[in-house]
Structure 1
Amino acid sequence: MFVANRMTKNPTVVTPDTGIDTAARLMKKGHFRRLPVVEDGKLVGFLNDKDIMRVSPSPATTLSRYEVTTLLSKLKVSDIMQVNVISVGEDATIEEAALLMYKEKVGGLPVVSSVGAVVGIITETDIFKTFVDVMALEEGRTRFTIDTEDKVGVVAVIAGVFADSGYSIDSLVTCRQPTGRYEIVVRTSVTDDAKIAALTKAIEDKGYKVIHTAKIG
């Protein structure tokens, strides 16, 4: 799954000469929190609502609305934008974008093409939505959590149990625990309690402990 398929395409952009008041109005009208800043078709900065809040007068100010508007109109995007912009390519995977956002502690990234043009924005909401879609959470699934040691062939054995029982696996993820052991998380469309119990027994008959089951969605 790639960033290009999950990003907001053709985002609203501003230039370094755009007034802060104009940028603020664009954000409010579009209900978004971030604006790529472009010049000559290339990404040169990034502006978010926190940048604007940082230079806006306090709510306790004695300035009139007109004075506040006048003050902001004198500031340009170039005065407050982030210039060391962290971006991601449109051909990057969603995992790469998620890891970059996690490491850099940012809630969104501009997405650029191979020639440096801004083609989209990927945000934490897009990442969350991807997670929900990949796990098919909205469709109703049963989640099996299986404790196992790290050894070759475990996934094949677990998958074999589901196949032998006549059930498909919708998603399977392995998670390393601090103890060094692993949890295998399997999601399947099986929701009948008796069938869930039978699958649990079949897995445990193979020597693996089912530590949790849950119906989600």
Structure 2
Amino acid sequence: MSVADFMTTDLVTIRPETRINDAVDLMKKHDIHRLPVVDNGKLVGLVTEGIIQRALPSEATSLSVYEVNYLLNKTTVDEIMEKDVRTIKSSSVLEEAIYQMRKNNIGVLPVVDDGHLTGIITNNDIFDAFLNVAAYGNGGTSVTVHVPAQEIGFLAKVSEALASHKYNILSLFVVKQGDAKAIELHVDSEDETGVKNALKQAGLEE
């Protein structure tokens, strides 16, 4: 899976000279939480709800509501935006996007190809990708099979056990559990008992 498979390409962007109030209005209108800042097709910054919140005067300020609104109307996003923006290529594997988000404690990565902004991928896109790969919501049965250490051809054994009973695998994950491994399966049948019996008859341990 690549970033291109799950990134958002229908982008709402702003220019550096956009006023903060206008940026806030755009976020509300499109129900989004961040805006890439683009100048001549190039990504030059990123504005998020958190950045705007930190730019607002604190509750302890002596400014009136009128003065705050005046300030936000005069301030442009290039004065508060994050300029050192981490990006990723659309051809990158999804795991790289997850790694970068976790490593840098961020929830969004603008997608930049050949110097131009082509998309954006967020933690919500990552969640959607996981649900898609896991075939969640497609019905069926989820089961876990424990993997014996160093057994060659174990996946083929699991597949054959299910196929012999006319069950198809919708998704499959190999999960580490300490020093051991387990296979998380999603099978295209609501007959949970039948699926488990098929595995048990093949000598596969749940």
Same fold per TM (> 0.5)?
yes
Work out whether residues 37 and 43 of structure 1, in 8 Å CA contact, stay in contact via their aligned partners in 2.
Answer: yes
Structure 1 residue runs of 4 or more that deviate by more than 6 Å after TM superposition: none
Which residue in 2 is equivalent to 1:87? 87
Instruction: Give the letter aligned to residue 169 of structure 1.
Output: I
Q: How many residues align?
A: 205
**Structure 2, unpaired ranges of 5+:** none
* Structure 2 CA distance for aligned equivalents of residues 50 and 194 of structure 1: 49
Gaps of 5+ in 1: 211-217
Provide the rounded CA distance (Å) in 1 between the counterparts of 2:132 and 2:4: 16
* Paired letter, 1:172: L
Change (3 A) 1:2 1:193: closer
Equivalent residue number for residue 77 of structure 2: 77
Change (3 A) 1:209 1:144: same
Output aligned runs, 1:8-157, within 5 Å.
8-59=8-59, 63-113=63-113, 115-151=114-150, 152-157=152-157
One-letter amino acid of the counterpart of residue 141, structure 1: G
Kept in 1, the 8 Å contact 2:162–2:195? The answer is: no
Distance 1:201 1:32, change over 3 A: same
Match of 2:205 among 192, 203, 209: 209
Q: Contact 1:142–1:187 at 8 Å: present in 2 too?
A: yes
> Does the aligned pair in 1 maintain the 2:161–2:199 contact within 8 Å?
no
Q: Is the 8 A contact 2:20 2:77 kept in 1?
A: yes
- How far the C-alpha of 1:61 sits from its partner, in A, is 5.2
Residues 80 and 105 (structure 1), Cα distance of their counterparts in 2 relative to 1, 3 Å cut: same
Residues 154-211 of structure 1: CA deviation (Å, up to 9, x unaligned): 2121112112222111111111122x110111110121244134224224x2xx320x
The CA deviation at 1:142 is 1.0
Q: Is the 8 A contact 2:167 2:195 kept in 1?
A: no
User: Residue 169 of structure 2 aligns to a residue in which SS?
Assistant: coil
- Is the Cα contact below 8 Å between 2:172 and 2:186 reproduced in 1? yes
Instruction: Indicate how the Cα distance of structure 1 residues 78 and 150 shifts in structure 2: closer, same or farther if over 3 A, else same.
Output: farther
CA shift in 2, pair 1:193/1:91, >3 Å: closer
Match for 1:35: what amino acid?
L
The 1-side partners of 2:63 and 2:132 are apart by 48
Distance 1:33 1:199 in 2: 47
Contact 2:147 2:180 in 1 (8 A): yes
TM-score (normalised: structure 2) = 0.90
State the TM-score, normalizing by the size of structure 1.
0.86
**C-alpha distance in 2, partners of 1:5/1:182?**
28
Partners of 2:156 and 2:59 in 1: CA distance: 61
Deviation string 1:88-147 (CA, Å, 9 cap, x unpaired) is 11222222222221222111111112x211121111111111111111111112111111
Query: How far 1:41 moved relative to its partner?
Result: 1.4
